[in-house]
């Protein structure tokens, strides 16, 4: 037996193979299960063939103040969707380097979770709770309750006197730096950020409001992270099957797993080894895309009628048909990506299309992947010899 030992691991005991007792669970569209989180930065409409996700989100601009009416309070507003894996969030107010006589007043800091049906240009519902505990920056400017700051050079920060509008706040003079307020958020929720700003200058120095995100390890996260489906299981997951279709084939599916403790060895580089990541590319199969609708066709030319569920959602399509057969779209179909993974209690699934960008493609930028069914296979006992 000793001749069969792998050199370089002299302290390891002889291993024995482990039998896994497996169970498989199935999750289907729209994935509204207690242990499943669907995170999408932007919701574009009703789904009918699967949940569409995209792995490269456009960044959302911070709320900025570039030109204002001098001496008047102006409202700055922006909206962000909380990325997955966020454990800590902050409301951030950033001011660029001011000249010695420049000043800026801020007040009414607000961060609130808005309903899913809320649109960016709507008024904020009065029922939305302000997550900032000290929105008027009250208290000693050197140690304001609920706020932290970092500054560069000598800065003057003091409480503003009540103005003719009855509003108080904070005055920033010769300021360069930022103010931060911790807020409690939930991944996937949309949060609106607003702040009142006043300046005697028409073009104050660069000013912005935006959130900062961190995971439970304190590592920074960004709002351009891709859409994903997060599944957690009580028993360790060892296999994941993803069934769906690309908008523009070929497609790809990615999976990121957080392995159980037993996966790691004492001589592992943890940051290099985990999280474990997988990707399958070249997945063929295409679903009905928006540029394939044959609206206005009422006669029966062999085209498929609009299904009743679609008519209930879009009544104007009643009586119409769509040419989405394989004769017109030979790539129609589905694909399946199967991943065998280390034992993990959580997996993060993403996907997209490897778009070709042909000039004649009616939707060459449609690079989503549509998820229809996901199956997870778990091991009933953890097994293994644990960390060594």
The three state secondary structure string of the chain is CHHHCCCCCCCCCCCCCCCCCEEEEEEECCCCCCCEEEECCCCCCCCCCCEEECCCCCCCCCEECCCCCCCCCEEEEEEEECCCCCCEEEEEEEECCCCCCCEEEEEEEEEEEECCCCCCCCCCCCCCCCCCCCCCCCCCCCCCCCCEEEECCCCEEEEECCCCCCCCEEEEECCCEEEEEEECCCCCCEEEEEEEEECCCCCCCCEEEEEEEECCCCCEECCCCCCEEEEEEEEEEEEEEEEEEECCCCEEEEEEEEECHHHCCCCCCHHHHCCEEEEEEEECCECCCHHHCCCCCCCCCCCEECCHHHHHHCHHHCCCEECCCCCCCCCECCEEEEEEEEEEEEEEEEEEECCCCCCCCCCCCCCCEEEEEEEEEEECCCCCCCCC
Q: What average pLDDT does this structure show over 344-366?
A: 84
18-56+226-287+333-379 and 63-217, same CATH topology: yes
Answer whether residue 383 shows pLDDT above 80. no
Task: Say what the pLDDT of residue 288 is.
Answer: 81
Rounded to an integer, the average pLDDT of 340-354 is 94
- In this predicted model, what pLDDT tens digit does every residue of 59-104 receive, in sequence order? 777 787 666 778 788 888 888 888 888 999 999 998 877 766 777 8
Task: For domain 63-217, give the fold.
Answer: Jelly Rolls (2.60.120)
pLDDT value of residue 294: 60
- Please check the confidence at residue 219 and state whether its pLDDT lies above 60: yes
Share of the chain above pLDDT 90, in %: 30
Ordered by start, the domain boundaries in the chain are 18-56+226-287+333-379, 63-217
Superfamily of domain 18-56+226-287+333-379: Galactose-binding domain-like (2.60.120.260)
- The per-residue pLDDT for range 358-373, each reduced to its tens digit, is 777 777 778 889 999 9
Report the mean per-residue pLDDT for the chain.
82
Work out the average pLDDT over 186-206: 81
């Amino acid at each position: 037996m000793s001749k069969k030992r792998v050199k370089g691991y002299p302290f390891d005991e002889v291993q024995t193979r482990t039998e896994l007792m497996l169970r498989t669970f199935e999750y289907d569209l729209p994935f509204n299960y207690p242990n499943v989180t669907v995170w999408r930065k932007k919701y574009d409409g009703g789904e009918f063939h699967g949940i569409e996700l995209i792995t490269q989100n456009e960044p959302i601009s911070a709320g900025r103040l570039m030109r204002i009416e001098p001496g008047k309070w102006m409202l700055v507003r922006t909206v962000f969707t909380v990325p997955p894996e966020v454990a800590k969030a902050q409301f951030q107010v950033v001011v660029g380097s001011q000249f010695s006589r420049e000043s800026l007043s801020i007040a009414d800091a607000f961060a609130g979770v808005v309903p899913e049906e809320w649109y960016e240009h709507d008024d904020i519902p009065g029922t939305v709770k302000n997550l900032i505990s000290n929105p008027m920056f009250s208290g000693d400017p050197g140690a304001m309750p609920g706020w932290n700051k970092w500054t560069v050079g000598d800065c003057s920060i003091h409480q503003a006197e009540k103005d003719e509008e009855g509003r108080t706040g904070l005055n920033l003079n010769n300021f360069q730096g930022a103010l931060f307020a911790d807020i409690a958020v939930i991944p996937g929720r949309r949060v609106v950020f607003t702040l009142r700003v006043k300046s005697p200058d028409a073009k104050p120095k660069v000013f912005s409001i935006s959130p900062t995100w961190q995971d439970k390890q304190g590592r920074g996260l960004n709002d351009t992270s891709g859409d994903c489906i997060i599944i957690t299981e009580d028993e360790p997951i060892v296999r994941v099957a993803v069934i769906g279709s690309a908008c523009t084939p070929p497609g790809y599916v990615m999976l990121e797993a957080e392995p159980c403790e037993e996966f790691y060895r004492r001589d592992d580089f943890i940051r290099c080894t985990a999280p474990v990541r997988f990707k399958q590319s070249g997945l063929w199969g295409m679903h009905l895309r928006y540029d394939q609708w044959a609206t206005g066709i009422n006669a029966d030319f062999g085209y498929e009628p609009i299904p009743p569920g679609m008519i209930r959602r879009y009544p104007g399509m009643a009586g119409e048909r769509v040419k989405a057969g394989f004769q017109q779209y030979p790539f129609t179909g589905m694909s399946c990506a199967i991943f065998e993974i280390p034992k993990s209690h959580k997996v993060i699934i993403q996907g997209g299309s490897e778009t070709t960008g042909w000039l004649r493609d009616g939707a060459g930028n449609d690079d989503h992947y549509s998820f229809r069914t996901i199956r997870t296979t778990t091991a009933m006992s953890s097994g293994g010899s644990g960390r060594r």
